[in-house]
Structure 1
Amino acid sequence: MNSNKKVACPLDCYDACQAEIIDENIKGSKEHFTTNSKLCVNFAQLLKEDYHQSPKFNNEDISLEESLEVLSAKLKDNDASKTLFYEGSGNLGKMQAAVKNFFTQYGSTLTKGSLCDGGGGLGIEQGRGSIVNPPIQKLIDSDVIVVWGRNFSVTSSHMYNLVKDKTFITIDPIKTDIAKKSDIHMQINPKTDYELALLLTRFANMQDIEDEEFLEEHSEGAEWFFDITRNRPVVSYEATTGVSLALVNQFFELIENKKVSFVVGLGVQKYFEGAQIMRCIDSLAAYLGVHKKQAGGVWYLSNSSHGYENQFKVKSSIKNKKVSVAQVDFSSYDLVFIQGANPVVSAPNTKAVIEGLKNSFVVCFTTTYNDTCEYADLIIPASSFLSKADVRLSYGHEYKAISNAIENPKENTISEYKLASVLIEKFGFEALKSEEEILDYYTNKTVEYEEFETFEFIEEVDVEPLYKHKNSTNFYLITAKSKNSLNSQFTIDNHVYLNESSGFKNNDAVKISSSFGEANFTVKLSEDIKSECAFFYAGNKKVNYLTPNKEDEESFSAMFQEVLIEIELSSTL
C-alpha cells in the first residue's frame, strides 16, 4: 500500500468516515472533521470482510470475461422492458451510479421510492422544499439535542462524539444506548410520534415559548397547524402516546431559553403515513423556531447529492418504466440485475422476494456473497472499495470523504465504472464521461448551505393509529440498527427481543405471524423493550417474513412497521 492515501468508507452510515494510510496501516483521518482520527466499528469490520472473487454461472466457477459474455448475451436476447435494474446501498460512493447509466440507456425497468427514508424525506421536502441538513456546527453549538427515533450514539458515533457533552432528550419505544445517556426518555408507543408532536406544540403555546417572529412569517400555515393540536383534550394524549404530561412539562423545563436541535431517525416514518408523521415533527420544530436560529435545527437523513449535478445522467428523451421498490415482483421480469443489494434479507415480505427470484434469471453484482446470491444464476464480483477511486457524500453532515485506489483489483473482479463502460461499448450506447473528470467534479465541487426561504406547516393530519386495530394478544413490530452490524452485514442477531411482561422466557422458541407471513425465532428478554413491542435488529434474516410488501401513502416507499404480529410458543426453530 502507498503512504499518504485517503480511503472513504462506502457503508450506508450517517458519518461517512474517511481513513488514511499511515505506516502501512489504515487509520482514521485527522483532516476529516467528523472522523477526527477515529475509525468506527463498522469501518473496522469492513476491513476484515471476505470479498467474493469467483464469478459463477449456474453455480459453476467461470472467468470474469466469461461472466461478462453471459450477461451481454442474456441482455441481447431479452426484451429490455422485461429486465429490472435493482440497486441497493451496499456502497454509497458516487462512482456506483455508472451501472445505472447503462441500464437506463438499455431501457430496463428501474425502481422508485426507498426501503429506508423515503416517507420521512418527502415529509421534510413538503415543508421546506428540500431535504438538506443544517451545517453540523449548528448541532455542535446547540444546548439540548432531542433524539427522536434514532439511536444517535450507535448509528452516528462520530457525530455523537462531537456533541456528547450536550443535554439529551430521547423519544423512542426502546431504551436505546442514547436513551440511557439522556436526561429524559419518553418511551413512546409505536406510531404515535405525530400525536406527541401535536401535544408538544400545544404545550409550547400554553407556555408561551413558541417563536412568534418565525410564526409571523408563516402565520397562515402555523395557525392551521396549531388548530389541529386543539382537536382533542390534552389529557387524552397520555393514554395513546404512553408519555405522561409530567414528562412533557420536564421537556419544556429543559429546552426553555435553550438552543435546541432535533436529530430524527428512520423509526418514526416506517408507516403508511410516514410523510405526515415526519412533517408533524418538523412542524413542531418550526413552531419552536429552531430552523432559523444561529444554533440548532433538524437533522434527518438528508439528500447528500443536493447541489451536485448527476455526472451519470442520461438524455432526457429516455423514459424508463419505474416500479415501487417496496412492491417489486421479481417474477415479472425475465432478467433481474441486482447491484450492491441483498433483498432476500433487506426487502419486505421475504417469502414473496424468494419466490420471485426463483422465477427470473438473476444476476448479482456484489463484493460479498450474500443471502440473495443463493438465488442467483450469474454472480459477478465487484472490486473492493480499496481498489477503486471514489467520492462519498454524507447524508448526515456536509463533509465529503475521498477514496483513492490503494491496492490493485483482485483477479476476476471488476469496478462499477469498468463494468458499465464494457457494456456500453458492447451495445453502442453513449459513452460515460472519463473517470478522472467525474472524480474531479465531485472532489472539487463546493456546495454552500442555503437557508430555505419559506416553511409550510402541515395543515391537515389523517393518520390511522395502529392501536385502533391492536388486540390484547398483538405486539408492535420494531426494527433498529445494531452496534455490531449494518443492515445485513457483519454480525447478525436473529433473535426477537421482548419485555419480561410478555409472558415468554429467555430462549423460548416462538412462532411469530402476521397477515403477511410467519417465521420462528428464539426469545431474548430485555427491560429495554417497551411492553407489547417485539424488537428485531436490522439484518435479522427472518423478520421480513412478517412485513408488508406494500408502498406507503405518498413516496412509493416501504413501511416495515405498519404491521401487528402474534407470538406463540413453538417446538421448532
Structure 2
Amino acid sequence: MFCPLDCWDSCKLKVKSEKLKVKFEGDSITPYLCWKLNNYFKFPSETTPKYNSKNIMLNETLDKLADILKNKGPKRVLFVKGSGNMGIMQNVTKLFFENYGATFAVGSTCDGLGEEGIIKGRGKSLILPTWIIKNAKNIIIWGRNPYVTNIHLIPMIKDKFTVTIDAIETKTAKNSDLFIQVKPNSDFYLAILLAQMVIESEQYEVSDNFDEYKKIVFSYDKKDLMKKCGINNEELMKLFEIIKQGGAVLTGLGTAKCKECWKTTWAIDSLFYMLGYFGKKDRGVAFLGSSGYGINNPFSMNHKNKVPLWDVNLDDYEVVFVQAGNPLVSFPNRHEWQKLKNKTTVVFGKYMDETAQIATLFIPSKDFFEKKDVRGSYFHEYVITNEKCKVKNEKCISEYELTKFLMNEFGFTGLKSEDEYIEEILNADLEKTGDEIYRKRVFDKPPYSDGFFTDNGKFKFLNEDFEYNKKPFEIVTAKHDKALNSQFQRDEIIYINPNSKNIMLRWVTENIPEKRVVFTENIPENIIYAKGGSVINEFINCKGENAYYEIH
C-alpha cells in the first residue's frame, strides 16, 4: 500500500487493521514514516455528507449532485482538482466530467512553472533513479530541503560531499558540507555565472541553440552577476570545482518561484548539459520528475473545454466541483476563489476544511486505504499499488464509485471496471520486486541516455533571457514538516528580519495581523518567509496555468 500524500517520497506502507483501528508502518524502500503519516489519525476526516451544512444520507447526496448538474448545464460547470491524493485512480472522475462537457481548470500550484523550463530543454522531466544518486560522488541540492520534504533521500547521501544552494539556511543547508546562500530568485544568475566559467574553460558539450545561449551568457558582467546572486569569489570557486567533478544535481521548487523562473530551470539544465551530466551512471539532474512516466494513465486527455487555472473568472460559472482541494486557502488569487461562497460549490474530499465549510454540497470520499489504486513517484523509480483494507464504510464513496453513479445517471457508456483500469495502468515494462511494488525497467539505463524527448532528440539550450525586475522585498515560501498544502498542522506565521527595509516592514504592518508575524535575525533581510501559503496566498496574484509567488 502507498501513502497518497503529495510529496517526494511516495512511501510504501504496511497497513494493520486492529479492533476497527488502522495503523501505518514503513515498509521496503521507505522503512520509516514522516510526522504527517505518524499522526494521520489525529486529524479526523469528515465522513458525513452535507447539504447546506446539514447532515444527509449518501444516496441523497448523489441525487442532489445529479440534479445540480442536470439543472445547470455543462457550460456553467467548472471542474477543479487539487492534489490531496496522488493515486492515478483519483483522475477517473474526469471521464464523467469530460463526457458531460464541463470546463476544466488546468494548471499547477506547485511544479508546473519549473517543469515548463525543463520541457523546453529536455522534452520531458524525468526522475533521477536512486541507483544513480547512490553512485554519485557529490550531491548538489539546489532550492530544495529534503530534510523536510524528502526524508528517504537523506540515508542515500549521508556519506557524500553535499552542497546546498538556497536563499534560506534550511536544515538541509545546516547539514551540508558547503552552503551557498543566494538572494531569492537569483538562481538564474548563478547558473549563468557558472556557465561563463565552463565556457571559458573550453571543455564543454554543445547542442541546439548553443550560439544563442552563449550570447545570453556573456551579455552579463561577472561582477554584476555575483552581486545579483549575493555570493563571493571564494564561494564561487569552491562551487565550480565541485560541479566539474560530477554529481547528482537535485533541484527543487525554490528555483522556480517567480514568473520568469521557468528560465531558471532551463538555465540550470543548460549549465549541466555542457558539463556532461545527462545520460551517465554517476551523475544527472532532476527536478520533480514525471511520476507517470513508465506506466500508463488511462485518464490522460486533452479536454475539449478548459481554462488556465489562474485565469479562472468564477463569474462565468454557477457550479464549481472541487475534488481533493482547498482553494480558499491553498490557491493564490484568493480574491477570485472567495467567490465560491456565492456559487453552488460541490466539494468531494476528506476534510471539513475552509472550502468544504462553505460548500453547498459536501461529498465525503473514502480514505486511500479503502480503495484500489496505483501511484508512481516524482523522486524514485518505483510503482506502488493499493488493495482495499477491510474497513466497512457506507457513508463515503470512492472516486470510481462516484464516476460509475454519474455515468449511469447520465446514460454515458464506456466506463471499464476498476480492475480493468488498474491492469491497464500496470500494463507496462515493470518488474515486480515485492508485495504491491514494482520497479520501472525504463530506468535500468540512465535517463536521456538514448536522447532527449525533443523534436530531433537533441537537448535545446536556453535561448531566452531572464526578464526579472528586482523587488524592494521578496517572498520565499517553503514546506512545513508538519503540514502539506492546507492539511494537518499548519504554520500560519510569516518570518521577517527586523532590520529589513522600511517599505517591507510597513507593508507587513499594514497587511499581516500582528499575531501572524515573528521577527528573527535568522532570516535574511528584505525577505518575507512563509512555511506554506495559508497567510501569504491572500496577496499572491497569478495569470496562466502555473502559479508563481510574487507580490504585485
**What is the TM-score when the length of structure 1 is the normalising length?**
0.87
2:121–2:462 Cα contact (<8 Å) kept: no
- The answer for the alignment partner of 1:337 in structure 2 is 321
- The answer for the alignment partner of 1:238 in structure 2 is 226
CA shift for structure 1 position 207:
4.1
Please state whether the residue corresponding to 2:340 is helix, strand or coil: helix
CA spacing shift, 1:221–1:510, aligned 2, 3 Å: closer
- The answer for the alignment partner of 1:323 in structure 2 is 307
2:383 to 390, 397, 400: 400
Matches for 1:277-426 after TM superposition, within 5 Å? 277-312=264-299, 320-354=304-338, 356-426=339-409
One-letter code of the match for 1:308? I
2:199 to 198, 205, 223: 205
Instruction: State the Cα deviation string for residues 204-251 of structure 1 (Å, max 9, x = none).
Output: 23345x4x3x43xx2x53343233211122111122111122211011
1:498 to 496, 499, 504: 496
CA–CA separation in structure 1 for the residues paired with 2:368 and 2:419: 17
Instruction: State the Cα deviation string for residues 263-294 of structure 1 (Å, max 9, x = none).
Output: 11112212222321210111111111111322
One-letter code of the match for 1:364? V
Please state whether the residue corresponding to 2:152 is helix, strand or coil: helix
- The answer for the alignment partner of 2:118 in structure 1 is 124
CA–CA separation in structure 2 for the residues paired with 1:279 and 1:390: 34
One-letter code of the match for 1:267? G
- The answer for the alignment partner of 1:4 in structure 2 is none
CA spacing shift, 1:282–1:520, aligned 2, 3 Å: farther
CA–CA separation in structure 2 for the residues paired with 1:549 and 1:229: 29
Matches for 1:141-152 after TM superposition, within 5 Å? 141-152=135-146
1:525 to 519, 522, 528: 519
Instruction: State the Cα deviation string for residues 155-209 of structure 1 (Å, max 9, x = none).
Output: 011122222222111111111111111122222112211111000111223345x
1:269–1:278 Cα contact (<8 Å) kept: yes
- The answer for the alignment partner of 1:567 in structure 2 is none
CA–CA separation in structure 2 for the residues paired with 1:75 and 1:27: 38
Matched, 1:542 2:535: yes
- The answer for the alignment partner of 2:548 in structure 1 is 559
One-letter code of the match for 2:290? N
2:138–2:248 Cα contact (<8 Å) kept: yes
- Structure 1: state its 5+ residue gaps: 1-6, 565-573
1:93 to 67, 81, 87: 87
CA spacing shift, 1:270–1:143, aligned 2, 3 Å: same
CA shift for structure 1 position 21:
3.6
CA spacing shift, 1:444–1:457, aligned 2, 3 Å: closer
1:463 to 461, 466, 488: 466
CA spacing shift, 1:406–1:260, aligned 2, 3 Å: same
2:295–2:426 Cα contact (<8 Å) kept: no
Matches for 1:49-198 after TM superposition, within 5 Å? 49-198=43-192
CA–CA separation in structure 2 for the residues paired with 1:511 and 1:67: 45
1:225–1:457 Cα contact (<8 Å) kept: no
One-letter code of the match for 1:320? K
One-letter code of the match for 1:274? C
One-letter code of the match for 2:548? M
- Structure 2: state its 5+ residue gaps: 431-439, 452-456
1:111–1:324 Cα contact (<8 Å) kept: yes
- The answer for the alignment partner of 1:481 in structure 2 is 479
Please state whether the residue corresponding to 1:401 is helix, strand or coil: strand
CA RMSD of aligned residues (A): 2.3
Please state whether the residue corresponding to 1:100 is helix, strand or coil: helix
Please state whether the residue corresponding to 1:237 is helix, strand or coil: helix
Please state whether the residue corresponding to 1:290 is helix, strand or coil: coil
CA shift for structure 1 position 27:
4.7
2:495–2:519 Cα contact (<8 Å) kept: yes
CA shift for structure 1 position 409:
4.3
CA–CA separation in structure 1 for the residues paired with 2:87 and 2:70: 29
CA spacing shift, 1:464–1:294, aligned 2, 3 Å: same
CA spacing shift, 1:313–1:235, aligned 2, 3 Å: closer
CA–CA separation in structure 1 for the residues paired with 2:529 and 2:468: 19
CA spacing shift, 1:29–1:358, aligned 2, 3 Å: closer
1:29–1:38 Cα contact (<8 Å) kept: yes
1:519–1:542 Cα contact (<8 Å) kept: no
One-letter code of the match for 1:277? T
CA shift for structure 1 position 380:
0.5
Please state whether the residue corresponding to 1:408 is helix, strand or coil: coil
1:191–1:466 Cα contact (<8 Å) kept: no
Please state whether the residue corresponding to 1:524 is helix, strand or coil: strand
CA spacing shift, 1:409–1:273, aligned 2, 3 Å: farther
Pairs aligned (count): 527
CA shift for structure 1 position 510:
4.8
**What is the TM-score when the length of structure 2 is the normalising length?**
0.90
1:326–1:347 Cα contact (<8 Å) kept: no
CA spacing shift, 1:509–1:110, aligned 2, 3 Å: closer
1:16–1:400 Cα contact (<8 Å) kept: no
CA shift for structure 1 position 99:
0.9
CA–CA separation in structure 1 for the residues paired with 2:162 and 2:344: 50
CA–CA separation in structure 1 for the residues paired with 2:539 and 2:509: 11
Please state whether the residue corresponding to 1:85 is helix, strand or coil: strand
CA shift for structure 1 position 479:
0.7
Instruction: State the Cα deviation string for residues 534-556 of structure 1 (Å, max 9, x = none).
Output: 10111x422111101323xxxx2
One-letter code of the match for 2:225? Y
1:512–1:521 Cα contact (<8 Å) kept: no
1:226 to 214, 237, 241: 214
CA spacing shift, 1:462–1:563, aligned 2, 3 Å: farther
CA shift for structure 1 position 444:
5.4
CA–CA separation in structure 1 for the residues paired with 2:414 and 2:280: 46
Please state whether the residue corresponding to 1:502 is helix, strand or coil: coil
- The answer for the alignment partner of 2:258 in structure 1 is 271
